Amino acid sequence: MRDEPGEAVRPTHVRHTVLALTVAAYMITYMDRVNIATAVPVIQKDLGLSMVTVGLIFSAFRWGYALFQIPGGWLGDRLGPRRALTLIVAWWSLFTCATALTWSASSMMICRFLFGAGEAGAFPIATRSLSRWMLPGERASAQGLTHGGSRLGAALTPGVVVLLIIAYGWRAPFFVFGVLGLVWAAVWYWYYRDAPREHAGVNAAERLLIEGSMGTRRSGIPGPVPWHRILHSPQIWTLALMYFCYGYCIDVYLDWFPKYLNDHRGFDLKHMGLYASLPLLAGTAGDLLGGWTSDRWAKRSGNLKTARRGVAIAGFLLASCSILLATFTASPLASVWYSCVAVFGLEVTVGVSWAIPIDIGGDYAGSIAAVMNMCGNLGSAISPTLLAYLMTLYGWNVPFVTSSVLCIVAALLFLRIDATRQFSADPAN
What's the CA gap between 104 and 333, in Å, rounded? 35
Cα four-point dihedral sign 47, 52, 53, 57:
positive
Q: What angle do CA 146, 151, 154 make, to 5 degrees?
A: 130
Cβ atoms 154, 257 nearer than 8 A: no
> In the prediction, which pLDDT does 44 show?
87
**345: in domain:** yes
> In the prediction, which pLDDT does 2 show?
43
> In the prediction, which pLDDT does 428 show?
53
**275: in domain:** yes
What is the mean pLDDT, run by run of 10 residues, along the chain of 429 residues? Answer: 52 86 90 84 86 83 82 78 91 92 90 90 80 75 79 81 88 92 94 86 83 58 72 91 94 80 75 78 87 88 91 96 93 90 94 86 77 85 81 85 95 93 66
DSSP alpha helix (H) spans, 169-268: 172-191, 204-214, 227-231, 234-251, 257-263
> In the prediction, which pLDDT does 223 show?
61
Residues 6+ apart with CB under 8 A from 103: 47
What's the CA gap between 86 and 188, in Å, rounded? 7
Residues 6+ apart with CB under 8 A from 384: 55, 58, 59, 62, 251, 255, 256
Residue 6 CB coordination number (10 Å): 5
**426: in domain:** no
What's the CA gap between 349 and 311, in Å, rounded? 7
Cβ atoms 134, 195 nearer than 8 A: no
Question: Which residues constitute the domain of residue 66?
Answer: 14-213+225-414
**110: in domain:** yes
**1: in domain:** no
- If we measure between CA atoms, which residue out of 189, 206, 159 comes closest to residue 84? 189
**219: in domain:** no
- If we measure between CA atoms, which residue out of 216, 235, 367 comes closest to residue 308? 235
**165: in domain:** yes
What's the CA gap between 415 and 429, in Å, rounded? 23
**423: in domain:** no
Q: Is 293 left (phi over 0), alpha (psi -120 to 50) or beta?
A: alpha
Residue 298, domain CATH:
1.20.1250.20
Q: What's the total number of domains in the chain?
A: 1
